[in-house]
């Protein structure tokens, strides 16, 4: 499986993502500078976390005009896999690949924590290796991670099972107390209608190497890899 | 070339506000600060953005059209924000 990780000025999770796909999973991985429009024949494009273009204007607002992201939009529209993590999720919403927006956290704090999430859907390449309704723990680190969409969009997301991860308590209850940032419907990650584009605020790449104590995120990358091997 | 020189310059004052349905925790925090200062009569604070854009255009209608495009595509996110702008002539067209 070929993987490309887009590198924006101000991104800081690009190498972490590449470490998982290249070093832990042994897959050919390219770091693609934002000014490049050649995605190096990628099967999976990762739009990483960080503070692309300094978060100027709005988080993710400027990144979407870069040649690399325009190529990513084309890739997604052809059915290619795209994973947006944290700032990458914000970029995908700004680019219109995913509905809604991510706004300032409810309590104004930058939240940096380990957060339980309930896996809401497992018939996706991203989550096929998780048990249905499994509770996993991933790191979160963001100031603008409060998911917002109008009532109509939320209803549509629910109806089409596009909500992939929800913030939960450790036993898997979806409560306001378990919601770290005020996201509507406790949304931590969503996919587009066909399921080839996933955006999530939690960081699976930071929970992939056992030396860091947690590996719940590795299964997400393994799921895509499994799918890629089956398709080959 | 002559056409470019003859174009007037406009200045837009763009006001970006959060849509009423979007919570504004920063506004709420500032409101609480104002209450602590003794301004008990403050009922609500909402924080937005002010953007100034100076541009050349053939006429006012063209300037407005371009500003609408800028606002819709970059300066605001229509999912969460509304905008309006005031437009004034900064430098009139130079007579050819």
The helix (H) or strand (E) run that includes residue A87 is helix A87-94
Contact call for residues A35 and A42 (beta carbons, < 8 A): no
The helix (H) or strand (E) run that includes residue A91 is helix A87-94
* A222 in contact with B, Cβ within 8 Å: no
Question: What does residue A153 show for φ and ψ, rounded to 5 degrees?
Answer: -65, -40
The helix (H) or strand (E) run that includes residue A77 is helix A67-77
- CA-based nearest distance A151→chain B, Å: 10
Count the domains in chain B. Answer: 1
What are B27-65's pLDDT values in tens digits?
999 999 999 999 999 999 999 999 999 999 999 999 999
Strands A111-119 and A101-103: unpaired
Does residue B96 form part of some domain?
Answer: no
pLDDT per position in chain A (232 positions), as tens? Answer: 999 999 999 999 999 999 999 999 999 999 999 999 999 999 999 999 999 999 999 999 999 899 999 999 999 999 999 999 999 999 999 999 999 999 999 998 999 999 999 999 999 999 999 999 999 999 999 999 999 999 999 999 999 999 999 999 999 999 999 999 999 999 999 999 999 999 999 999 999 999 998 999 999 999 999 988 887 7
**Which has the higher per-residue pLDDT, A170 or B93?**
A170
Count the domains in chain A. Answer: 1
Chain B residues in contact with A63 (beta carbon < 8 A): none
b/e for B53-73, b at 16 or more Cβ within 10 A?
bebbbeeeeebeeebeebbee
Does residue B86 form part of some domain?
Answer: yes
pLDDT band at B96; cut points 50, 70, 90: low
Chain B residues in contact with A146 (beta carbon < 8 A): 23
Which residues constitute the domain of residue A77?
Answer: 3-231
Question: What does residue A87 show for φ and ψ, rounded to 5 degrees?
Answer: -60, -30
Active site residue A34: no
Residue whose tokens read 């390449």: A125
* A103 in contact with B, Cβ within 8 Å: yes
* A135 in contact with B, Cβ within 8 Å: no
Which ipTM was obtained for this model? 0.85
Does residue B21 form part of some domain?
Answer: yes
For residue B1, pLDDT over 70 is answered with: no
Active site residue A86: yes
**Residue B5, pLDDT score:** 64
* B77 in contact with A, Cβ within 8 Å: yes
Contact call for residues A193 and A153 (beta carbons, < 8 A): no
Comparing CB atoms, the residue among A57, A101, A108 nearest residue B79 is: A101
Does residue B70 form part of some domain?
Answer: yes
**Residue A232, pLDDT score:** 73
How many C-beta atoms surround the C-beta of residue A202 within 10 A?
Answer: 32
Q: Which residues contact A173 (CB under 8 A, 6 or more apart)?
A: none
For residue B66, pLDDT over 80 is answered with: yes
Residue whose tokens read 């700004």: A94
CATH number for the domain that contains residue B33: 3.30.1280.10
Chain A residues in contact with B74 (beta carbon < 8 A): 57, 61-62, 65
CA–CA gap between residue A73 and residue A95 (Å, rounded): 8
- Nearest alpha carbon to residue A43 among A53, A28, A33: A28
Torsional class of B75: left (φ above 0), alpha (ψ -120 to 50), beta (otherwise)? alpha
**Residue B6, pLDDT score:** 78
CATH number for the domain that contains residue A79: 3.40.50.880
Q: What DSSP line would sit under A41-70, residue for residue?
A: T-SEEEE--B-GGGG-SSTTTTGGGSHHHH
**Residue A100, pLDDT score:** 98
Which residues constitute the domain of residue B25?
Answer: 2-91
């Amino acid at each position: 499986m070929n993987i490309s990780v887009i590198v924006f000025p101000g991104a800081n999770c690009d190498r972490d993502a590449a470490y998982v796909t290249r070093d832990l999973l042994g897959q050919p991985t390219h770091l693609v500078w934002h000014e490049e429009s050649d995605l190096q024949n990628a099967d999976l494009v990762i739009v990483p976390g960080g503070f692309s273009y300094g978060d100027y204007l709005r988080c993710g607002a400027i990144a979407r005009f870069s040649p690399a992201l325009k190529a990513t939009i084309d890739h997604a529209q052809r059915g290619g896999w795209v994973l947006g993590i944290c700032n990458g999720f914000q970029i995908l919403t700004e680019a219109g690949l995913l509905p809604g927006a991510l706004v300032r956290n409810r309590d104004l704090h930058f939240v940096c924590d380990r957060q339980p999430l309930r896996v809401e859907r497992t018939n996706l390449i991203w989550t096929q290796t998780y048990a249905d309704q499994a509770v996993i723990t991933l790191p979160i680190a963001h100031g603008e991670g409060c998911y917002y969409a109008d009532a109509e969009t939320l209803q549509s997301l629910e109806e089409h099972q596009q909500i992939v991860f929800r913030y939960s308590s450790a036993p898997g209850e979806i409560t306001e107390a378990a919601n770290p940032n005020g996201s509507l419907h406790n949304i931590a990650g969503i996919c587009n209608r066909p399921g080839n584009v996933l955006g999530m605020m939690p960081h699976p790449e930071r929970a992939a190497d056992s030396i860091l104590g947690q590996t719940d995120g590795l299964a997400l990358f393994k799921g895509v890899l499994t799918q890629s091997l089956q398709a080959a | 070339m002559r056409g470019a020189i003859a174009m007037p310059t406009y200045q837009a004052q763009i006001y970006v506000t959060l849509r009423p349905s979007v919570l504004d925790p920063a506004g709420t925090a500032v409101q609480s600060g104002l209450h602590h200062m003794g301004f008990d009569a403050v009922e609500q604070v909402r924080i937005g953005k002010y953007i100034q854009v100076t541009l050349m255009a053939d006429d006012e209608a063209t300037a407005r059209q371009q500003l609408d495009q800028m606002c819709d595509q970059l300066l605001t996110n229509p999912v969460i924000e509304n905008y309006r702008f005031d437009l004034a002539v900064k430098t009139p067209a130079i007579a050819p």
